[in-house]
Homo-oligomer: A and B are copies of this chain.
Amino acid sequence: MNKKTLRVSPKSIERLGVYRRVLQQERAKQKTHIFSHQLAMLCGNNAAQTRRDLMAVGYEGSPSRGYDIDALCRAISALIDGEDKCVAVLVGVGNLGAALLEYVEKRCPHLRIGAAFDSDHAKTGRVLCGVRCHSVDEMDEVIKRNGAEVGVIAVPGRAAQEVADMLASSGIKGILNFAPVALRVSKNIYVEQIDLAVALEKVAYFTRRKDYVKKER
């Protein structure tokens, strides 16, 4: 209903991805419509927040019917996926890299992992989840050939900055970094950091804070 991209908050973007996944599951169960409180419950948040998030996508539901699942899915996709498929590359095909390939190949048809890289020659040349693993020497050439925009760093910490520099010089514009290192990259590259060890520490901390009580449903 509005001018489209008017600035959607990061948190909303994350949740919209979750909504879409849940909507696709419901659609597979032959459901055609859903109310905000039902969707909220399936996603683990509350109805007000769900409606607020959906405001951003510019699709309006009906008070009597709720949201048309199919139309809402398309509206969300129009907002978060771009016009064309986004191509990403993975650097570091260890356990974590392989896990990411599985998750993404199964669940993100609108994203494509175009290639993977590893310094271990035992891995180069192999194909995992449909993605070919190249030597890091070929990184620049392969990234440019695929027109990749996003890089995922799943290498040990000591190698992460060097990989980030290589990605940046090949024209990558966004990085998802699993290495426990703060990357130093130019301002126009978006970086998202996920640190598994810190995440677990956080859970341990809040688990022990006896005063913690979850808010609602």
Contact = CB atoms under 8 A, between A and B. Distances in A.
Contacts of A213: 187-188
Contact of A188 (B98, B152, B174, B214): B214
A177 to B, nearest CB: 9
A99 interface: yes
A176 B195 CA distance: 13
A206 B174 contact: yes
Interface string A186-217: 01111111111111111111111100111000
A44 interface: yes
B206 A99 contact: no
A178 to B, nearest CB: 8
Given A86-B207, A88-B204, A198-B17, A190 B173 contact: no
Interface stretch (A27-35, A60-68, A100-108): A100-108
Contacts of A96: 95-96, 99
A6 B198 CA distance: 21
A13 interface: yes
Give the oligomeric copy count.
2
A14 interface: yes
Nearest to A192: B203
A107 B203 contact: no
Contacts of A205: 13, 80
Contacts of A99: 94-96, 99, 196
Interface of A: 5, 10, 13-14, 17-18, 21, 42-44, 80-82, 86, 88, 94-96, 98-100, 102-104, 106-108, 111, 149-150, 152, 173-176, 180, 182-184, 187-209, 212-214
**A-B pairs, 6 with minimum CB distance:** A174-B207, A44-B182, A96-B99, A95-B99, A17-B198, A86-B204
